[in-house]
Structure 1
Amino acid sequence: MRSLTQEEAKAFSEHWLPAWTGNNPELLASFYSDDAFYLDPAIPDGVEGKAALLAYFRKLLAHNPDWVWTQLEGIPLQGGFLNKWLARIPVGEKELEIVGVCFVQLDREGKIKRNEVYFDRAQLLAEIERARGN
């Protein structure tokens, strides 16, 4: 599969990233192929297949219904793009701004077949503990 251009990565992200907000895991999962592989810092071994991914998204989005993700830059890669993003994550009375990257590989139908998310969770975990009063 060919690389996406920066413009194509931006266009894809303008539809996909808003699906991370609002606790609609079925909508988010619709961007992924049936055999998708996904990992993030909370599940470093990843999950494989849409059923497992949907179960994870249901839990994840239920805990984070109001976060907002935006693309900062799309860097073309073979078969997809590297997505540099900004997440605005409400935690207690604060809103954290976290920058990270994710690798996005698409299948022939334009669905995500591999998505690996990387960011430093230290600030997020510390703020969650503070909000809990621990």
Structure 2
Amino acid sequence: MQRLRLKADGRIVEIRDGQEFPLAPPMPVANPASDHVAGFAPTTVSPASLPPATVPEVRDLRQRARLTQIEFAARLGVPVETIRNWEQGKRAPRGPARALLAVIAHAPETVFAALDRHIAG
């Protein structure tokens, strides 16, 4: 079974043999201030610092998991109104919810299995 850890800076890493391995490679982004001075200077960005539009759409994630809004809310441990607000664009997931959705986008079976064990145990 794949073991994942959410780091404080928003990175998601896999734990294998006591070592951390990035789940996805860091994404290079342009730094406009340094582009003019020293050319392109790639930097890394964590999933938690991305704007809401780049987080996978909640409705799409839920539909790929073949869950109703009620089932998805129960699996995540949030009120169904929260899911509805996210899907309708009234609210955007923030902080830990955004990070959890990013992990679900990469490894939904692992996340839901872990959440189910947490709820059952």
TM-score between the two structures when normalised by the length of structure 1: 0.27
Which structure shows the bigger proportion of residues in strand conformation?
1
TM value normalised by structure 2: 0.28
Larger helix fraction of residues: 2
Decide which structure has the larger Cα Rg and report it: 2
